[in-house]
């Protein structure tokens, strides 16, 4: 695709009635591509077996992320992102059609973005909150270590600096559906979470900013005593056109792979995993993402004699032994 002039980009953005994203405008002007991301960060559910129903109770999960995007395309910006994603998982006492009813609210996410950090010119820093979300779904234990689940929900609109000027989230509603499958047997865990997002128009401008996306987060791990080691990764792709991908002229996709290490401390379980882009289209650079995830059980209907959480057995892990 031919490179687009800066004057053309300015006219395009004015005609859309919205402010130029710093990261997007910079990359479009020099490479002819966009720089938006899926509504959820790719990889944030890797290694979590959402398909396995949780024991009844309430769990707190906190996910910290550092992302560095290299400036692979000529004169494209280097982008660093630091984010914290807190959520609550409530596994209710109710079942519908044999599936456990589970509720997952995602509270406001803190995000900091550095564009060309440390550069003498062309650098900027942005700190704000990201869109909140809520998922409500059913998880079925099919026996033999196999589980499936489906969680529809929504990301809520929020009018922020990072949405208006960096192209991360924004002032629009997004429908999300998460379909999950998990297999846990003989200390092996295989998980795949498929996420579909459909975003509406910006509530202030009426512009369709965010393309629909499909993502899959996956993990293959082995449990050795209290340790967990294995592979984690994700893949994402735009499904249609919107302002952030030049209305389909610069659709984006990427695949990333990496390694995961986890440890069961007893009532608290931790995972750390690092991924690196292996192939991408229109992202202007490869992403290196470092995730750290901690899960804490907050409440169970009956006091456990010994509570051991294992990520391979569910979102926050499964209770190793519960006295009932």
**What does the pLDDT read at residue 36?**
58
**What does the pLDDT read at residue 129?**
94
Q: How far apart are CA 83 and CA 69, in angstroms?
A: 14
Q: How far apart are CA 235 and CA 287, in angstroms?
A: 12
Tokens found for residue 289: 């993402």
Domain coordinates in residue numbering, the chain? 6-313
Q: How far apart are CA 40 and CA 133, in angstroms?
A: 10
Of the candidates 288, 284, 287, the one whose C-alpha atom is nearest the C-alpha of residue 24 is 284
**What does the pLDDT read at residue 319?**
43
**What does the pLDDT read at residue 13?**
35
Give the chain's length.
324
Q: Domain 6-313: which CATH class?
A: mainly beta
Distances in Å between the Cα of 215 and the Cα atoms of 36, 197, 306 are 14, 9, 36
**What does the pLDDT read at residue 73?**
76
Strand partners, 80: 68, 114
- pLDDT profile of the chain (324 residues), mean per 10: 37 34 36 61 95 96 96 84 96 97 95 89 91 97 98 97 92 98 97 98 96 97 97 97 94 97 96 97 94 97 53 46 38
Is residue 185 a contact partner of residue 166, using CB atoms and an 8 Å limit?
A: no
Q: How far apart are CA 24 and CA 19, in angstroms?
A: 11
**DSSP states of 286-314:** -EEEEEEEEEEEEE-SS--SB----GGGS
pTM of the model: 0.83
Dihedral pair phi/psi, residue 247, rounded to 5°: 55, 40
Distances in Å between the Cα of 70 and the Cα atoms of 76, 162, 284, 288 are 9, 19, 8, 8
């Amino acid at each position: 695709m031919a490179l687009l002039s800066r004057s053309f980009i300015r006219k395009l953005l004015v005609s859309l009635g919205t402010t130029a994203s710093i990261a997007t405008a910079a990359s479009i002007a020099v490479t002819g591509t966009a720089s938006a991301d899926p509504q959820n960060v790719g990889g944030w559910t890797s290694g979590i077996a959402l398909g396995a129903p949780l024991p009844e109770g309430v769990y707190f999960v906190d996910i910290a992320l550092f992302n560095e995007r290299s400036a692979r395309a000529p004169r494209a910006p280097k982008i660093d992102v630091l984010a914290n994603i807190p959520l609550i998982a409530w596994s209710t006492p109710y079942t519908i059609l044999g599936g456990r009813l589970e509720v997952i609210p995602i509270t406001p996410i803190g995000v900091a973005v550095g564009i060309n950090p440390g550069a003498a010119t062309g650098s900027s820093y942005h700190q704000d909150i990201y869109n909140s979300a809520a998922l409500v779904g059913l998880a079925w234990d099919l026996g033999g270590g196999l589980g499936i689940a489906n969680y529809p929900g929504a990301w809520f609109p929020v009018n922020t600096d990072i949405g208006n000027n960096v192209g991360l989230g924004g002032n629009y509603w997004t429908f999300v559906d998460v379909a999950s499958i998990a297999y846990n047997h003989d200390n092996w865990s295989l998980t795949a979470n498929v996420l579909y997002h459909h975003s509406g128009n910006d509530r202030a401008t009426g512009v369709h900013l965010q393309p629909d996306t499909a993502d899959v987060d996956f993990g293959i791990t082995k449990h050795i005593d209290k340790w967990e080691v294995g592979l984690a990764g994700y893949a994402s792709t735009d499904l249609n056109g919107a302002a952030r991908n030049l209305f389909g002229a610069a659709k984006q996709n990427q695949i990333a792979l990496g390694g995961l290490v986890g440890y069961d401390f007893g009532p608290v379980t931790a995972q750390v995993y690092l991924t690196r882009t292996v192939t991408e289209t229109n992202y202007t650079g490869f992403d290196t993402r470092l995730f750290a995830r901690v899960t804490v059980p907050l409440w169970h209907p009956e006091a456990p004699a010994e509570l051991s959480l294992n990520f391979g057995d569910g979102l926050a892990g499964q209770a190793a032994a519960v006295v009932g």
